[in-house]
Structure 1
Amino acid sequence: MIASILPDIDMSDSVKFGFQVWNTFMKSVYALLTESPSQFKDGEIWKAVQKINPYFITVGTIAVSLCFAMGLVKNQVDLKREMNIEMAIKLFARISIAEWLLTNTFYIIDAIFSAATWLIGKVLTGGVKKMSLSKAQLKLFEEVDPIESIVLLIFGFICLVVVIVLAMVMIYTVYSRFFKVYVSAPFSALAIAGVAGGGMGHVARANLQNMITYALEGVAISMTLFVCSKFIGSGLDLGLKTGNSDTVKAMAVLIEKTFTIALTVGLTKGAENLVRKNLGL
Protein backbone atom coordinates (compact mmCIF):
# COMPACT_ATOMS: atom_id res chain seq x y z
CA MET A 1 0.00 0.00 0.00
CA ILE A 2 2.81 2.39 0.92
CA ALA A 3 4.54 1.56 -2.35
CA SER A 4 1.39 2.47 -4.28
CA ILE A 5 1.08 5.88 -2.58
CA LEU A 6 4.70 7.10 -2.48
CA PRO A 7 5.33 7.04 -6.24
CA ASP A 8 2.85 9.92 -6.50
CA ILE A 9 5.09 12.02 -4.24
CA ASP A 10 7.80 13.97 -6.08
CA MET A 11 10.77 13.62 -3.74
CA SER A 12 12.60 16.54 -5.35
CA ASP A 13 9.82 19.06 -4.65
CA SER A 14 10.93 19.85 -1.09
CA VAL A 15 14.55 20.10 -2.22
CA LYS A 16 13.64 22.44 -5.06
CA PHE A 17 11.59 24.57 -2.66
CA GLY A 18 14.51 24.81 -0.22
CA PHE A 19 16.88 25.90 -2.97
CA GLN A 20 14.29 28.36 -4.27
CA VAL A 21 14.09 29.96 -0.82
CA TRP A 22 17.89 30.13 -0.66
CA ASN A 23 18.17 31.64 -4.16
CA THR A 24 15.50 34.24 -3.35
CA PHE A 25 17.28 35.28 -0.16
CA MET A 26 20.62 35.35 -1.97
CA LYS A 27 19.17 37.66 -4.60
CA SER A 28 18.21 40.05 -1.80
CA VAL A 29 21.66 39.70 -0.24
CA TYR A 30 23.37 40.64 -3.49
CA ALA A 31 21.09 43.67 -3.85
CA LEU A 32 21.76 44.78 -0.25
CA LEU A 33 25.52 44.43 -0.60
CA THR A 34 25.60 46.72 -3.61
CA GLU A 35 23.84 49.51 -1.68
CA SER A 36 25.57 51.95 0.64
CA PRO A 37 23.82 53.05 3.87
CA SER A 38 22.85 56.33 2.19
CA GLN A 39 21.11 54.37 -0.62
CA PHE A 40 19.40 51.69 1.48
CA LYS A 41 15.59 52.09 1.46
CA ASP A 42 15.99 55.07 -0.89
CA GLY A 43 18.08 56.84 1.75
CA GLU A 44 15.12 57.45 4.07
CA ILE A 45 16.79 55.90 7.13
CA TRP A 46 20.07 57.74 6.42
CA LYS A 47 18.18 61.05 6.20
CA ALA A 48 16.36 60.30 9.45
CA VAL A 49 19.66 59.65 11.22
CA GLN A 50 21.09 62.86 9.76
CA LYS A 51 18.20 64.83 11.28
CA ILE A 52 19.20 63.84 14.81
CA ASN A 53 22.93 64.22 14.11
CA PRO A 54 22.97 68.02 14.90
CA TYR A 55 22.25 67.18 18.55
CA PHE A 56 25.30 64.92 18.63
CA ILE A 57 27.33 67.64 16.86
CA THR A 58 26.34 70.12 19.58
CA VAL A 59 27.54 67.75 22.29
CA GLY A 60 30.59 66.97 20.15
CA THR A 61 31.47 70.66 19.94
CA ILE A 62 31.44 70.86 23.71
CA ALA A 63 33.54 67.70 23.83
CA VAL A 64 36.06 69.30 21.44
CA SER A 65 36.46 72.22 23.83
CA LEU A 66 36.88 69.88 26.80
CA CYS A 67 39.43 67.72 24.98
CA PHE A 68 41.31 70.84 23.93
CA ALA A 69 41.35 72.10 27.53
CA MET A 70 42.46 68.67 28.77
CA GLY A 71 45.29 68.79 26.24
CA LEU A 72 46.48 72.10 27.61
CA VAL A 73 46.39 70.82 31.16
CA LYS A 74 48.10 67.55 30.25
CA ASN A 75 50.96 69.34 28.52
CA GLN A 76 51.18 71.79 31.41
CA VAL A 77 51.21 74.77 29.11
CA ASP A 78 51.50 78.19 30.75
CA LEU A 79 49.54 80.35 28.33
CA LYS A 80 51.36 83.50 29.47
CA ARG A 81 54.98 82.32 29.51
CA GLU A 82 55.54 79.12 27.53
CA MET A 83 53.22 79.56 24.55
CA ASN A 84 55.10 80.18 21.28
CA ILE A 85 53.97 80.63 17.68
CA GLU A 86 54.67 77.02 16.67
CA MET A 87 52.71 75.60 19.60
CA ALA A 88 49.85 78.03 18.98
CA ILE A 89 49.66 76.97 15.32
CA LYS A 90 49.60 73.28 16.29
CA LEU A 91 46.83 73.83 18.83
CA PHE A 92 44.79 75.92 16.42
CA ALA A 93 45.27 73.36 13.63
CA ARG A 94 44.20 70.51 15.91
CA ILE A 95 40.98 72.16 17.03
CA SER A 96 40.24 73.33 13.45
CA ILE A 97 40.65 69.78 12.12
CA ALA A 98 38.41 68.45 14.89
CA GLU A 99 35.71 70.99 14.07
CA TRP A 100 35.92 70.24 10.33
CA LEU A 101 35.67 66.48 10.91
CA LEU A 102 32.79 67.08 13.30
CA THR A 103 30.83 69.00 10.67
CA ASN A 104 31.57 66.58 7.83
CA THR A 105 31.23 63.29 9.70
CA PHE A 106 28.40 61.93 7.56
CA TYR A 107 30.11 62.90 4.31
CA ILE A 108 33.26 61.03 5.37
CA ILE A 109 31.29 57.93 6.39
CA ASP A 110 29.32 58.02 3.15
CA ALA A 111 32.56 58.30 1.14
CA ILE A 112 34.03 55.26 2.93
CA PHE A 113 30.95 53.13 2.26
CA SER A 114 30.61 54.37 -1.34
CA ALA A 115 34.17 53.21 -2.07
CA ALA A 116 33.46 49.82 -0.44
CA THR A 117 30.18 49.49 -2.37
CA TRP A 118 32.00 50.16 -5.65
CA LEU A 119 34.48 47.40 -4.83
CA ILE A 120 31.65 45.02 -3.87
CA GLY A 121 29.99 45.70 -7.22
CA LYS A 122 33.19 44.71 -9.03
CA VAL A 123 33.51 41.49 -7.03
CA LEU A 124 29.88 40.50 -7.63
CA THR A 125 29.91 41.31 -11.34
CA GLY A 126 28.92 37.75 -12.19
CA GLY A 127 25.63 38.05 -10.29
CA VAL A 128 23.81 35.43 -8.26
CA LYS A 129 24.96 31.84 -8.60
CA LYS A 130 21.82 29.78 -8.13
CA MET A 131 21.71 26.61 -6.09
CA SER A 132 19.98 23.91 -8.12
CA LEU A 133 19.92 20.23 -8.98
CA SER A 134 21.33 18.94 -12.24
CA LYS A 135 19.35 16.58 -14.48
CA ALA A 136 21.42 13.65 -13.27
CA GLN A 137 20.74 14.56 -9.64
CA LEU A 138 17.01 14.98 -10.28
CA LYS A 139 17.00 11.53 -11.88
CA LEU A 140 18.38 10.06 -8.64
CA PHE A 141 15.28 11.23 -6.75
CA GLU A 142 13.01 9.81 -9.42
CA GLU A 143 14.63 6.38 -9.32
CA VAL A 144 14.63 5.97 -5.55
CA ASP A 145 12.92 2.81 -4.31
CA PRO A 146 9.39 3.66 -3.02
CA ILE A 147 10.03 2.15 0.41
CA GLU A 148 13.44 3.82 0.79
CA SER A 149 11.91 7.10 -0.32
CA ILE A 150 10.31 7.39 3.15
CA VAL A 151 13.79 7.85 4.63
CA LEU A 152 14.75 10.25 1.86
CA LEU A 153 11.55 12.24 2.36
CA ILE A 154 12.30 12.71 6.07
CA PHE A 155 15.93 13.54 5.39
CA GLY A 156 14.93 15.98 2.64
CA PHE A 157 12.53 17.73 5.02
CA ILE A 158 15.30 18.12 7.60
CA CYS A 159 17.60 19.61 4.97
CA LEU A 160 14.79 21.92 3.87
CA VAL A 161 14.41 23.30 7.41
CA VAL A 162 18.19 23.71 7.76
CA VAL A 163 18.45 25.57 4.45
CA ILE A 164 15.59 27.94 5.35
CA VAL A 165 17.15 28.69 8.76
CA LEU A 166 20.56 29.30 7.17
CA ALA A 167 18.97 31.60 4.57
CA MET A 168 17.37 33.65 7.37
CA VAL A 169 20.71 33.85 9.22
CA MET A 170 22.34 35.04 6.00
CA ILE A 171 19.86 37.83 5.39
CA TYR A 172 19.98 38.81 9.08
CA THR A 173 23.77 39.17 8.92
CA VAL A 174 23.61 41.50 5.92
CA TYR A 175 20.75 43.56 7.35
CA SER A 176 22.44 43.91 10.76
CA ARG A 177 25.43 45.53 9.04
CA PHE A 178 23.25 48.48 8.04
CA PHE A 179 21.75 48.83 11.51
CA LYS A 180 25.22 48.87 13.10
CA VAL A 181 26.16 51.75 10.80
CA TYR A 182 22.99 53.72 11.48
CA VAL A 183 23.39 53.38 15.25
CA SER A 184 27.14 54.08 15.24
CA ALA A 185 27.23 57.02 12.79
CA PRO A 186 25.92 59.72 15.19
CA PHE A 187 28.43 58.63 17.86
CA SER A 188 31.19 59.53 15.40
CA ALA A 189 30.54 63.19 16.22
CA LEU A 190 31.43 62.48 19.84
CA ALA A 191 34.39 60.25 19.02
CA ILE A 192 35.96 62.76 16.61
CA ALA A 193 36.19 65.27 19.47
CA GLY A 194 39.20 63.27 20.63
CA VAL A 195 41.20 64.71 17.73
CA ALA A 196 41.31 68.01 19.66
CA GLY A 197 43.69 66.45 22.20
CA GLY A 198 43.56 65.55 25.85
CA GLY A 199 44.83 62.04 25.22
CA MET A 200 41.50 61.09 23.61
CA GLY A 201 42.82 60.50 20.10
CA HIS A 202 42.38 56.75 20.53
CA VAL A 203 38.60 57.26 20.74
CA ALA A 204 38.47 58.92 17.30
CA ARG A 205 40.78 56.24 15.91
CA ALA A 206 38.61 53.43 17.29
CA ASN A 207 35.48 54.94 15.76
CA LEU A 208 37.13 55.31 12.36
CA GLN A 209 38.40 51.73 12.55
CA ASN A 210 34.89 50.49 13.28
CA MET A 211 33.42 52.37 10.32
CA ILE A 212 36.10 51.01 8.00
CA THR A 213 35.47 47.52 9.40
CA TYR A 214 31.72 47.76 8.74
CA ALA A 215 32.41 48.96 5.20
CA LEU A 216 34.96 46.24 4.47
CA GLU A 217 32.73 43.63 6.10
CA GLY A 218 30.54 43.96 3.02
CA VAL A 219 33.61 43.41 0.82
CA ALA A 220 34.54 40.30 2.84
CA ILE A 221 30.98 38.97 2.50
CA SER A 222 31.06 39.57 -1.26
CA MET A 223 34.40 37.73 -1.49
CA THR A 224 32.90 34.87 0.52
CA LEU A 225 29.97 34.64 -1.88
CA PHE A 226 32.33 34.82 -4.86
CA VAL A 227 34.50 31.96 -3.60
CA CYS A 228 31.57 29.83 -2.41
CA SER A 229 29.83 30.30 -5.76
CA LYS A 230 32.73 28.41 -7.30
CA PHE A 231 32.02 25.53 -4.94
CA ILE A 232 28.35 25.69 -5.91
CA GLY A 233 29.30 25.56 -9.58
CA SER A 234 31.92 22.80 -9.37
CA GLY A 235 30.37 20.90 -6.48
CA LEU A 236 32.02 19.30 -3.47
CA ASP A 237 33.49 15.86 -3.27
CA LEU A 238 32.95 14.62 0.27
CA GLY A 239 33.30 10.97 -0.76
CA LEU A 240 29.72 10.15 0.18
CA LYS A 241 28.57 8.65 -3.12
CA THR A 242 30.32 5.35 -2.71
CA GLY A 243 27.19 3.21 -2.44
CA ASN A 244 25.24 1.78 -5.34
CA SER A 245 21.89 2.71 -3.85
CA ASP A 246 20.14 5.68 -5.45
CA THR A 247 18.88 6.64 -2.00
CA VAL A 248 22.44 6.93 -0.67
CA LYS A 249 23.49 8.96 -3.69
CA ALA A 250 20.47 11.28 -3.34
CA MET A 251 21.20 11.79 0.35
CA ALA A 252 24.82 12.54 -0.52
CA VAL A 253 23.67 15.25 -2.92
CA LEU A 254 21.54 16.84 -0.19
CA ILE A 255 24.40 16.71 2.32
CA GLU A 256 26.85 18.33 -0.10
CA LYS A 257 24.42 21.09 -1.10
CA THR A 258 23.46 21.82 2.52
CA PHE A 259 27.12 21.77 3.58
CA THR A 260 27.96 24.33 0.88
CA ILE A 261 25.18 26.61 2.12
CA ALA A 262 26.29 26.17 5.76
CA LEU A 263 29.89 26.96 4.74
CA THR A 264 28.75 30.13 2.98
CA VAL A 265 26.73 31.32 5.98
CA GLY A 266 29.48 30.45 8.46
CA LEU A 267 32.10 32.44 6.57
CA THR A 268 29.66 35.33 6.17
CA LYS A 269 29.03 35.42 9.92
CA GLY A 270 32.79 35.64 10.48
CA ALA A 271 33.36 38.36 7.88
CA GLU A 272 33.79 41.14 10.45
CA ASN A 273 36.39 39.18 12.44
CA LEU A 274 38.12 38.28 9.18
CA VAL A 275 38.51 41.98 8.31
CA ARG A 276 39.77 42.89 11.79
CA LYS A 277 42.35 40.09 11.80
CA ASN A 278 43.65 40.75 8.28
CA LEU A 279 43.90 44.54 8.66
CA GLY A 280 44.58 44.77 12.38
CA LEU A 281 41.50 46.91 13.00
Structure 2
Amino acid sequence: MGGIIDNLTNAINIWNEKMAEIWILLTQTPQNFKGGHIWEIIVKIHGTLTAIGLALLVLFFVIGMVRTCTNLTEIKRPEHALRLFLRFAIARGIVVYGMTIMTKVFEIIQGITSKIMSTVSAGSATTTTIPEEIIKAVEDCGFLESIPVWAVTLLGGIFITILSFILILTVYGRFFKLYMYTAISPIPLSTSASENTQSVALTFLKSYIGVCLEGTIIVLACIIFSQFVASPPVIDSSSSAISMLWTYIGETIFNMLVLVGTVKMSDRVVKDMMGL
Protein backbone atom coordinates (compact mmCIF):
# COMPACT_ATOMS: atom_id res chain seq x y z
CA MET A 1 0.00 0.00 0.00
CA GLY A 2 3.02 2.28 -0.11
CA GLY A 3 1.90 3.71 -3.42
CA ILE A 4 -1.22 5.23 -1.85
CA ILE A 5 0.70 7.69 0.28
CA ASP A 6 2.86 8.64 -2.72
CA ASN A 7 0.16 11.05 -3.97
CA LEU A 8 0.43 13.08 -0.79
CA THR A 9 4.20 12.69 -0.51
CA ASN A 10 4.80 13.98 -4.04
CA ALA A 11 2.52 16.99 -3.44
CA ILE A 12 4.28 17.88 -0.19
CA ASN A 13 7.65 17.53 -1.91
CA ILE A 14 6.47 20.02 -4.56
CA TRP A 15 5.34 22.36 -1.76
CA ASN A 16 8.73 22.09 -0.03
CA GLU A 17 10.54 22.73 -3.33
CA LYS A 18 8.47 25.86 -3.99
CA MET A 19 9.02 27.10 -0.43
CA ALA A 20 12.77 26.64 -0.84
CA GLU A 21 12.63 28.45 -4.19
CA ILE A 22 10.68 31.33 -2.63
CA TRP A 23 13.30 31.64 0.09
CA ILE A 24 16.00 31.98 -2.58
CA LEU A 25 13.94 34.49 -4.59
CA LEU A 26 13.33 36.71 -1.58
CA THR A 27 17.07 37.00 -0.96
CA GLN A 28 17.86 37.86 -4.59
CA THR A 29 18.12 41.30 -6.16
CA PRO A 30 16.53 42.20 -9.53
CA GLN A 31 20.06 42.53 -10.91
CA ASN A 32 20.88 38.89 -10.12
CA PHE A 33 17.48 37.34 -10.81
CA LYS A 34 17.70 34.73 -13.62
CA GLY A 35 21.36 35.49 -14.13
CA GLY A 36 20.80 39.22 -14.68
CA HIS A 37 19.58 38.87 -18.29
CA ILE A 38 16.19 40.43 -17.55
CA TRP A 39 17.86 43.33 -15.74
CA GLU A 40 19.99 44.08 -18.80
CA ILE A 41 16.84 44.47 -20.90
CA ILE A 42 15.23 46.67 -18.23
CA VAL A 43 18.30 48.91 -18.18
CA LYS A 44 18.06 49.37 -21.96
CA ILE A 45 14.35 50.18 -21.80
CA HIS A 46 14.95 52.59 -18.92
CA GLY A 47 17.70 54.34 -20.87
CA THR A 48 15.40 54.79 -23.87
CA LEU A 49 12.55 56.14 -21.74
CA THR A 50 14.87 58.51 -19.89
CA ALA A 51 15.13 60.68 -23.02
CA ILE A 52 11.34 60.79 -23.24
CA GLY A 53 11.14 61.50 -19.51
CA LEU A 54 13.47 64.50 -19.84
CA ALA A 55 11.36 65.89 -22.67
CA LEU A 56 8.21 65.48 -20.58
CA LEU A 57 10.01 67.05 -17.63
CA VAL A 58 10.54 70.26 -19.61
CA LEU A 59 6.90 70.21 -20.68
CA PHE A 60 5.61 69.71 -17.13
CA PHE A 61 7.99 72.40 -15.87
CA VAL A 62 6.76 74.96 -18.39
CA ILE A 63 3.12 74.10 -17.67
CA GLY A 64 3.72 74.41 -13.96
CA MET A 65 5.57 77.69 -14.35
CA VAL A 66 2.76 79.17 -16.43
CA ARG A 67 0.14 78.13 -13.89
CA THR A 68 2.02 79.38 -10.83
CA CYS A 69 3.22 82.68 -12.31
CA THR A 70 0.50 85.23 -13.06
CA ASN A 71 2.91 87.55 -14.84
CA LEU A 72 6.51 87.83 -15.99
CA THR A 73 7.38 90.12 -13.09
CA GLU A 74 7.18 87.20 -10.66
CA ILE A 75 9.69 85.21 -12.70
CA LYS A 76 12.14 88.11 -12.58
CA ARG A 77 12.15 88.09 -8.78
CA PRO A 78 15.43 86.39 -7.68
CA GLU A 79 13.87 84.19 -4.99
CA HIS A 80 11.14 82.96 -7.34
CA ALA A 81 13.57 82.34 -10.19
CA LEU A 82 15.87 80.43 -7.80
CA ARG A 83 12.98 78.31 -6.59
CA LEU A 84 12.03 77.43 -10.16
CA PHE A 85 15.64 76.61 -11.02
CA LEU A 86 16.04 74.35 -7.97
CA ARG A 87 12.79 72.54 -8.76
CA PHE A 88 13.91 71.91 -12.33
CA ALA A 89 17.39 70.76 -11.25
CA ILE A 90 16.02 68.41 -8.58
CA ALA A 91 13.38 67.01 -10.94
CA ARG A 92 16.00 66.42 -13.62
CA GLY A 93 18.23 64.65 -11.11
CA ILE A 94 15.33 62.41 -10.04
CA VAL A 95 14.67 61.41 -13.66
CA VAL A 96 18.31 60.89 -14.63
CA TYR A 97 19.26 59.04 -11.44
CA GLY A 98 15.87 57.43 -10.89
CA MET A 99 17.16 53.88 -11.35
CA THR A 100 19.96 54.48 -8.85
CA ILE A 101 17.49 55.90 -6.32
CA MET A 102 15.13 52.96 -6.76
CA THR A 103 17.98 50.47 -6.48
CA LYS A 104 19.10 52.04 -3.21
CA VAL A 105 15.55 51.95 -1.86
CA PHE A 106 15.37 48.23 -2.72
CA GLU A 107 18.72 47.60 -1.01
CA ILE A 108 17.54 49.34 2.18
CA ILE A 109 14.33 47.31 2.34
CA GLN A 110 16.24 44.14 1.41
CA GLY A 111 18.50 44.88 4.37
CA ILE A 112 15.43 45.03 6.63
CA THR A 113 14.29 41.67 5.26
CA SER A 114 17.73 40.11 5.79
CA LYS A 115 17.80 41.47 9.35
CA ILE A 116 14.47 39.80 10.10
CA MET A 117 15.75 36.49 8.70
CA SER A 118 19.00 36.66 10.67
CA THR A 119 17.19 37.63 13.88
CA VAL A 120 15.15 34.42 13.88
CA SER A 121 18.07 32.43 12.38
CA ALA A 122 15.93 31.49 9.39
CA GLY A 123 18.45 30.40 6.80
CA SER A 124 15.97 28.34 4.82
CA ALA A 125 12.32 27.40 4.74
CA THR A 126 11.10 24.69 7.13
CA THR A 127 10.04 21.56 5.30
CA THR A 128 6.65 19.92 5.72
CA THR A 129 6.73 16.17 6.41
CA ILE A 130 4.16 13.43 6.87
CA PRO A 131 4.17 11.90 10.38
CA GLU A 132 5.49 8.35 10.52
CA GLU A 133 2.38 7.06 12.29
CA ILE A 134 0.23 8.08 9.31
CA ILE A 135 2.56 6.40 6.83
CA LYS A 136 2.53 3.21 8.91
CA ALA A 137 -1.28 3.28 9.29
CA VAL A 138 -1.75 3.68 5.52
CA GLU A 139 0.67 0.85 4.78
CA ASP A 140 -1.30 -1.44 7.08
CA CYS A 141 -4.65 -0.70 5.37
CA GLY A 142 -6.66 -3.51 3.82
CA PHE A 143 -7.96 -3.38 0.25
CA LEU A 144 -11.43 -1.93 1.01
CA GLU A 145 -10.10 0.55 3.54
CA SER A 146 -7.43 1.71 1.09
CA ILE A 147 -10.00 3.01 -1.42
CA PRO A 148 -11.18 6.04 0.62
CA VAL A 149 -7.61 6.56 1.85
CA TRP A 150 -6.41 6.73 -1.76
CA ALA A 151 -9.20 9.21 -2.62
CA VAL A 152 -8.29 11.48 0.31
CA THR A 153 -4.57 11.47 -0.49
CA LEU A 154 -5.30 12.14 -4.17
CA LEU A 155 -7.57 15.12 -3.45
CA GLY A 156 -5.25 16.43 -0.77
CA GLY A 157 -2.26 16.10 -3.09
CA ILE A 158 -4.01 17.96 -5.90
CA PHE A 159 -5.03 20.78 -3.56
CA ILE A 160 -1.54 21.15 -2.09
CA THR A 161 0.01 21.17 -5.59
CA ILE A 162 -2.34 23.95 -6.71
CA LEU A 163 -1.51 26.01 -3.61
CA SER A 164 2.20 25.49 -4.29
CA PHE A 165 1.98 27.01 -7.77
CA ILE A 166 -0.25 29.88 -6.62
CA LEU A 167 2.35 30.70 -3.97
CA ILE A 168 5.33 30.71 -6.31
CA LEU A 169 3.44 32.64 -9.01
CA THR A 170 2.71 35.41 -6.52
CA VAL A 171 6.38 35.75 -5.62
CA TYR A 172 7.40 35.76 -9.28
CA GLY A 173 4.72 38.39 -9.90
CA ARG A 174 6.46 40.69 -7.41
CA PHE A 175 9.67 40.50 -9.45
CA PHE A 176 7.69 41.37 -12.57
CA LYS A 177 6.31 44.44 -10.81
CA LEU A 178 9.80 45.50 -9.69
CA TYR A 179 11.03 45.31 -13.27
CA MET A 180 8.05 47.19 -14.67
CA TYR A 181 8.34 49.98 -12.10
CA THR A 182 12.05 50.36 -12.83
CA ALA A 183 11.65 50.32 -16.61
CA ILE A 184 8.84 52.89 -16.77
CA SER A 185 10.11 55.12 -13.93
CA PRO A 186 11.36 58.08 -16.06
CA ILE A 187 7.80 58.84 -17.23
CA PRO A 188 6.03 59.20 -13.84
CA LEU A 189 9.12 60.75 -12.21
CA SER A 190 9.13 63.53 -14.82
CA THR A 191 5.91 64.87 -13.28
CA SER A 192 7.96 66.10 -10.29
CA ALA A 193 8.93 69.17 -12.35
CA SER A 194 5.59 70.84 -11.61
CA GLU A 195 3.77 71.50 -8.35
CA ASN A 196 0.50 70.61 -10.07
CA THR A 197 1.66 67.14 -11.13
CA GLN A 198 4.27 66.21 -8.50
CA SER A 199 1.70 64.06 -6.67
CA VAL A 200 2.00 61.53 -9.51
CA ALA A 201 5.74 61.11 -8.85
CA LEU A 202 5.17 60.82 -5.09
CA THR A 203 2.47 58.19 -5.58
CA PHE A 204 4.76 56.27 -7.92
CA LEU A 205 7.63 56.24 -5.42
CA LYS A 206 5.34 55.19 -2.55
CA SER A 207 3.91 52.41 -4.69
CA TYR A 208 7.42 51.21 -5.56
CA ILE A 209 8.38 51.19 -1.88
CA GLY A 210 5.23 49.17 -1.28
CA VAL A 211 6.27 46.56 -3.86
CA CYS A 212 9.68 46.30 -2.20
CA LEU A 213 8.08 45.88 1.22
CA GLU A 214 5.95 43.03 -0.12
CA GLY A 215 9.08 40.87 0.11
CA THR A 216 9.37 41.66 3.83
CA ILE A 217 5.73 40.75 4.43
CA ILE A 218 6.16 37.48 2.51
CA VAL A 219 9.24 36.60 4.58
CA LEU A 220 7.32 37.28 7.80
CA ALA A 221 4.46 35.11 6.56
CA CYS A 222 6.85 32.25 5.72
CA ILE A 223 8.53 32.50 9.13
CA ILE A 224 5.16 32.34 10.90
CA PHE A 225 4.14 29.39 8.72
CA SER A 226 7.40 27.63 9.61
CA GLN A 227 6.39 27.79 13.27
CA PHE A 228 3.09 26.14 12.40
CA VAL A 229 4.95 23.40 10.52
CA ALA A 230 7.32 22.94 13.46
CA SER A 231 4.26 22.02 15.55
CA PRO A 232 2.48 19.34 13.48
CA PRO A 233 -1.13 18.42 14.28
CA VAL A 234 -1.66 15.92 17.09
CA ILE A 235 -2.49 12.54 15.59
CA ASP A 236 -4.49 9.95 17.51
CA SER A 237 -2.65 6.75 16.65
CA SER A 238 -5.57 4.67 17.93
CA SER A 239 -7.98 6.02 15.27
CA SER A 240 -8.38 4.66 11.75
CA ALA A 241 -6.06 5.56 8.90
CA ILE A 242 -8.75 7.63 7.14
CA SER A 243 -9.42 9.65 10.32
CA MET A 244 -5.71 10.28 10.84
CA LEU A 245 -5.36 11.40 7.22
CA TRP A 246 -8.36 13.73 7.43
CA THR A 247 -6.95 15.36 10.57
CA TYR A 248 -3.48 15.80 9.13
CA ILE A 249 -4.48 16.91 5.63
CA GLY A 250 -7.19 19.22 6.94
CA GLU A 251 -4.89 21.11 9.31
CA THR A 252 -1.97 21.12 6.86
CA ILE A 253 -4.07 22.55 4.04
CA PHE A 254 -5.60 25.10 6.41
CA ASN A 255 -2.11 26.36 7.37
CA MET A 256 -1.09 26.43 3.72
CA LEU A 257 -4.24 28.38 2.81
CA VAL A 258 -3.42 30.96 5.48
CA LEU A 259 0.11 31.35 4.09
CA VAL A 260 -1.02 31.58 0.45
CA GLY A 261 -3.76 34.05 1.38
CA THR A 262 -1.31 36.24 3.31
CA VAL A 263 1.22 36.17 0.47
CA LYS A 264 -1.49 36.99 -2.07
CA MET A 265 -2.63 39.92 0.09
CA SER A 266 0.89 41.17 0.86
CA ASP A 267 0.34 44.18 -1.41
CA ARG A 268 -2.91 45.02 0.39
CA VAL A 269 -1.19 44.65 3.79
CA VAL A 270 1.55 47.07 2.73
CA LYS A 271 -0.98 49.57 1.38
CA ASP A 272 -2.92 49.47 4.64
CA MET A 273 0.29 49.94 6.64
CA MET A 274 1.53 52.88 4.55
CA GLY A 275 -1.86 54.42 3.88
CA LEU A 276 -1.51 54.12 0.09
| TM-score, scaled relative to structure 2 | 0.91
Residue 121 of structure 1 corresponds to which residue in structure 2?
A: 114
1:127-206 aligned within 5 A = 127-206=124-203
Specify which of 216, 220, 224 is matched with residue 221 of structure 2: 224
Preserved CA contact (<8 Å) 2:149 2:241 = no
Preserved CA contact (<8 Å) 1:64 1:196 = yes
In 1, the alpha carbon distance for the partners of 2:142 and 2:251 equals: 21
SS at match of 1:148: helix
Tell me, which stretches of 5 or more residues in structure 1 are unaligned? Answer: 1-7
Specify which of 41, 52, 55 is matched with residue 48 of structure 1: 41
Tell me, which stretches of 5 or more residues in structure 2 are unaligned? Answer: none
Preserved CA contact (<8 Å) 2:74 2:80 = no
Preserved CA contact (<8 Å) 1:38 1:110 = no
Alignment-mate amino acid for residue 177 of structure 2: K
Alignment-mate amino acid for residue 279 of structure 1: M
CA deviation map 1:163-212 (0-9, x unaligned): 11111111111111111121222221111112111500111011101110
In 1, the alpha carbon distance for the partners of 2:93 and 2:170 equals: 33
- The sequence identity of aligned pairs, in percent, is 25
CA deviation map 1:4-52 (0-9, x unaligned): xxxx444322211111111111111111111121221222211211112
Preserved CA contact (<8 Å) 1:243 1:249 = no
Residue 11 of structure 2 corresponds to which residue in structure 1?
A: 18
Residue 230 of structure 2 corresponds to which residue in structure 1?
A: 233
Specify which of 94, 97, 103 is matched with residue 96 of structure 2: 103
1:143 Cα offset (Å): 3.7
Alignment-mate amino acid for residue 92 of structure 1: F
Residue 4 of structure 1 corresponds to which residue in structure 2?
A: none
1:150 Cα offset (Å): 0.6
**C-alpha distance 242-266 of structure 1, shift in aligned 2 (>3 A):** farther
Which stretch shows the higher mean deviation, 30-39 or 227-236? 227-236
1:39-78 aligned within 5 A = 39-78=32-71
Aligned length, in residue pairs: 272
Which stretch shows the higher mean deviation, 68-77 or 169-178? 68-77
Which stretch shows the higher mean deviation, 214-223 or 253-262? 253-262
In 1, the alpha carbon distance for the partners of 2:86 and 2:129 equals: 60
1:264 equivalenced with 2:262 (yes/no): no
1:247 Cα offset (Å): 1.7
Preserved CA contact (<8 Å) 2:2 2:138 = no
SS at match of 1:132: coil
1:111 Cα offset (Å): 1.1
Specify which of 239, 254, 261 is matched with residue 249 of structure 2: 254
1:136 Cα offset (Å): 2.7
In 2, the alpha carbon distance for the partners of 1:21 and 1:48 equals: 31
Which stretch shows the higher mean deviation, 258-267 or 270-279? 258-267
**C-alpha distance 269-169 of structure 1, shift in aligned 2 (>3 A):** same
In 2, the alpha carbon distance for the partners of 1:242 and 1:139 equals: 10
SS at match of 2:104: helix
1:277 equivalenced with 2:272 (yes/no): yes
Preserved CA contact (<8 Å) 1:67 1:198 = no
**C-alpha distance 85-163 of structure 1, shift in aligned 2 (>3 A):** same
Alignment-mate amino acid for residue 221 of structure 2: T
In 1, the alpha carbon distance for the partners of 2:74 and 2:106 equals: 47
In 2, the alpha carbon distance for the partners of 1:16 and 1:97 equals: 58
In 1, the alpha carbon distance for the partners of 2:189 and 2:33 equals: 25
SS at match of 1:186: helix
1:219 Cα offset (Å): 0.6
SS at match of 1:244: coil
Preserved CA contact (<8 Å) 2:64 2:195 = yes
Q: Which has the higher helix share?
A: 2
| TM-score, scaled relative to structure 1 | 0.90
Residue 27 of structure 1 corresponds to which residue in structure 2?
A: 20
